[in-house]
Amino acid sequence: MTPAARLQAVIDLLTEIDETPRPADAVMSAYFRNRRYIGSKDRTAVAQMAYAILRRHARLGWWIERGGYERATPRARVLAYMLLEESRNAGVVLEMFSGGKFAPARLTDDELAMVRELESHTMDHPDMPETVRVECPDWAEAAMRASLGDRFAVEMEKLLEAAPLDLRINPLKANQQSAIKALAKAQITAETTRWSPLGLRVKGRPPLGSVDAFKDGLVEIQDEGSQLVALAVAPKPGHQVVDFCAGAGGKTLAVAALMKNKGRVVACDVLEKRLKRAAERFRRAGLHNIEAHPLTSERDPWVKRHKRKFDRVLVDAPCSGTGTWRRNPDARWRQLGPGLEQLLPLQANILDSAARLVKPGGRLVYATCSMLHDENEAQVEAFLQTHHDFVVKPIAEVWAEEEAGATPTEGPYLRLTPARHDTDGFFAAVLERRVDESVSEDSVPEVGLEQGEVDPVELGKAIDA
Chain-centroid distance, C-alpha 429: 18
As a whole number of angstroms, the distance between CA 220 and CA 170 comes to 7
Decide: 180 and 187 in contact? Cβ < 8 Å: no
User: What separation in angstroms does the CA of 66 have from each of 85, 111, 125?
Assistant: 16, 13, 11
Decide: 38 and 9 in contact? Cβ < 8 Å: yes
Q: Please give the angle made by the CA atoms of 58, 113 and 68, to the nearest 5 degrees.
A: 45
Decide: 395 and 334 in contact? Cβ < 8 Å: no
Residues whose CB is less than 8 angstroms from the CB of residue 455 and which lie 6 or more positions away in sequence, other chains included: 297
As a whole number of angstroms, the distance between CA 458 and CA 295 comes to 13
**Between the CA atoms of 418, 422, 425 and 431, what dihedral angle is there, to the nearest 10 degrees?**
-130
Q: 369 catalytic, yes or no? A: yes
Q: How many other CB atoms sit within 10 Å of the CB of residue 212?
A: 11
Residues in the chain: 465
As a whole number of angstroms, the distance between CA 252 and CA 227 comes to 11
CA atoms within 13 A on the CB side of 430: 24
Residues whose CB is less than 8 angstroms from the CB of residue 140 and which lie 6 or more positions away in sequence, other chains included: 320, 322, 332, 372
Per the annotation, does 316 bind a ligand? yes
Closest CA to 158 of 326, 363, 397, 308: 326
Q: With b meaning 16 or more CB within 10 Å and e meaning fewer, what string describes 229-258?
A: bbbbbbbeeebbbbbbbbbbbbbbbbbbbb
State the binding site.
269, 316
The residues annotated with a catalytic role in the active site are 369
Annotated binding site for S-adenosyl-L-methionine: 269, 316
